[in-house]
Every structure is written in C-alpha cells, then in structure tokens.
A = this chain, B = another copy of it.
Amino acid sequence: MYLCASINEKAEFIIFRTMANISEKAKQMPASAIRKLVPYADAAKKQGVKVYHLNLGQPDIKSPSCALDAIRNYSQENVSYSHSAGLMELRKGLVEKYYKKIGIDITVDELIVTIAGSESVNLALEIACNPGDEVIVLEPFYTNYNTFAFMNGLTLKAIPTDIRNGFQIPPIEEFEKAITDKTKAILVCNPGNPTGTQYSKESMLALGEIARKHDLFLLSDEVYREFCYTDEPHFSAMNIPGLEQNVILIDSVSKRYNLCGARIGCIVSHNKDVMTAAMKFAQARLCPPVIGQIAAIGSLDTPDEYFEAVREEYIKRRDFMIEGLNRIEGVFTPLPMGAFYTIAELPVDDTESFAKWMLEHFRINDETTMVTPAASFYKTPGKGLNHARIAYVLEVDEMKKALHILEEGLKAYPGKTI
C-alpha cells in the first residue's frame, strides 16, 4: 500500500490517495513477444517511413462475398445473445456442410462455437490439464501457447525440430524422453504457425500412438487446415483410429475465410466429459460474438473455387518469398507446405536486435521492412536467436520491395555474422 495526501484544487479538503497492488499472475504474465517491436514500427511511421509488414499474419485476401453479404444483410432489430454453444444454424452448418465434406464425422453436440481459435486453445488446455502439468509442444511453436500455458499454470515442454528438414516431427524416442509423470497433453499445430510445416498421416498416427501409450490428450490446432500446398490431403487428428476420447480439435472459422477479426472458432471432441466441461466454461462468458457468427453462417456457402483461388495465390506468394529469401547471402529457409509463414535463419547475431535496428535505422527511399524475431517461438534458452518468422501475406510486388530492403539491411547491419 502506498498513501499520499494531496489537497484538491479548491483546497477545501485533503484527499488521501491509496493504491492497491495487482496480482502476481498479472505481474508475471508474459507480454506478447510478437508485439514488442510495434512501438518501433509506430515511431518509424510517425517519421513518414513506410513499413513492409513481413511480421504480421494479417492477410489482404478478400473474404468470400457470401460471408460479407451476411453481415450487410443483417435484418434483426437488435443483436441478442445466442446460445452459449453458438447459433444452432452455425453448429449444424459446420457439422454438415464443412466437417462432413472434409471427412471429419461429428455430431452437433461434439462442437461448441468459441471466440476464435484463441478461446479454443485456452479451453483445451484448461480442460485437459491441471495446474503443474506439462504439455509437450514441438519447437518452434505459436508463441501464445506459452501465454495460455502460463495462464493455466502449465509448463510447456518443447521438443526441438530441425529447420534443415523443414521442422518435421522428430523420432518418437524424443517424445518418450520428454514425457514425465506430469505430462498430460501434446499440443500440435498442423499446418504449423510459425513453421508452415504440414505433418503427414504417418506422423499424426505416430503422435497418436504416443498419446495412446501414455494416456495423453492430443490437442490438435488445425486452424490453417485450408492453407495446405501439398497434394497429400490434410490428415486431421480427429481421424486417428481409437484415439477419439483423447483428441480435442482446436479450429477457427474466421481464419479460414479471411474473417480474422470476426473471432469465430470452435472446439470439437468426441469426448463427452470434454464437451460438458467446455459448455460450462462457454456459459460463463454467455455467448460467442453474434454478428461474427452471422458472417460465419454466410461463409458456409463458400464455393470450392474460393479455396482453390486462395491456395493458388498463396503458393505464388510462398514460392516468390522462399526463393527470394534463399537467394540472399547467408539466409536459409525451408519450403513451408502450409499456413502463410516461414521461419528463416538470418546471418545476424540476434534477430531481435536486427529487427529493431531495421525499424530505427535502416531505410531505402523512406521504406523499411519488419520481421518477427523468432526466439519467443522457442522454449529452449538461446534457441532461435538467429531465426525470424516471415509471413507471405503481401502481394508479390510489395514482397519484392520488402525483400530488397531486407537484403540491403542485412548487408549494412553491424551485427551480421558473415
């Protein structure tokens, strides 16, 4: 407690000011590593500098018109609550029009609409694990997994993967070594953010075997499922035979249809205890955003051509970006097979210092390029220091300029290693 007295403006009476202290959790909560450099980008913009955002997974791709039309044709006279599990039309539509089509066989009771993939990840961890439990992740991993683990009192145990083989799932022995009495779940992202790696059916079955053997939950984040660039179809954890009671699917509707801000996702499981618990947590926050749900209902009529066009566009952007990156001296990045990110090894001491330096000091014709330092995607101290996450969500012309600035920046950076 801190107390200080001051006299109010009219000097009529003395006001004693007091201050209460925030919780330990609030103090220790990790700040978003991804957004740490935003003030530097803002400062550059204030100077009139154009910043190419290779750091953000904010696609410029249009949403399907059926989704946008659903928003524009909103005909209710007010916006009332929906069921806590979401509008029945959306739940049924997802089950029948989307999941059935891609070979995931579920009932309406096995799906609850969430406030985007974010709520879904948090719910999955909260439902699967007790505080103190350990969760296995593949390193590098989506940095907010760390945040949600912290919020639930969990420890992430990271199994390293290798940039040289495209961050594929390591041999099962590595999992065996990492599993302890406290391990409660494996959390995978397929295709992966930040790596863009797509796991094969064989890899997913192997993960399933490990989960089965040690009685673990397999939390499968498949929000980038429709962003796969191989000919091999995406294999969902929901289809691992015999593992029905251990799999929790984390999914996003808004991400799939470039409606990121609509914040609509879902949590799916055949495990009744999981869904009963998810429903109780869902009731506490009353309902998912309703206008976003209306857009999501609209998106159910998205024609296949939409995904084909988006896929083609991303393959074009990916190929351009990966080729461009690998042409820069000292840069290496594998070819990602999904999502819209890649992890690149840069010839620098520390990508955080480099990214900051670019924003503060490096410009070509009043333009600069921003990348995401990747150390926060790693749990092992010291790992990923020379890695950056690069999103290929901009148009090719923009990426061309961004890459040129990056290349010149790397040459000029004082902390370069080649």
Contact = CB atoms under 8 A, between A and B. Distances in A.
Given A18-B212, A62-B77, A262 B274 contact: no
Interface in A104-136: 115-116, 118-119, 122, 126-131, 133
Given A72-B74, A118-B286, A242 B15 contact: yes
A19 B273 CA distance: 10
A331 interface: no
Interface string A288-321: 1111100100000000000000000000000000
A26 B267 CA distance: 15
A79 B58 contact: no
A175 interface: no
Contact of A23 (B128, B246, B271): B128
Contacts of A364: none
A281 to B, nearest CB: 6
Contacts of A119: 285
Contacts of A15: 241-242
A47 interface: no
Contacts of A80: 58-59, 260-261
Interface stretch (A90-98, A144-152, A341-349): A144-152
Contacts of A60: 78
B244 A17 contact: yes
Nearest to A288: B263
A95 B32 CA distance: 25
B71 A74 contact: yes
Contacts of A73: 72
A353 interface: no
B78 A8 contact: no
A8 B241 contact: yes
A243 interface: yes
Contacts of A262: 79, 289-291
Contact of A280 (B29, B131, B258): B29
Most chain B Cβ neighbours within 10 Å, of A79, A280, A283, A295: A79
A25 interface: yes
Given A126-B25, A292-B292, A18 B263 contact: no
Given A18-B212, A58-B81, A261-B287, 20 more contacts: A15-B242, A16-B242, A18-B215, A19-B245, A20-B245, A21-B273, A22-B273, A22-B274, A26-B274, A26-B277, A29-B277, A35-B84, A59-B78, A72-B74, A79-B260, A79-B292, A79-B295, A81-B261, A115-B285, A148-B284
Nearest first, the 9 A-B pairs at minimum CB distance are A261-B290, A289-B289, A26-B277, A19-B245, A32-B283, A15-B242, A1-B215, A291-B291, A79-B261
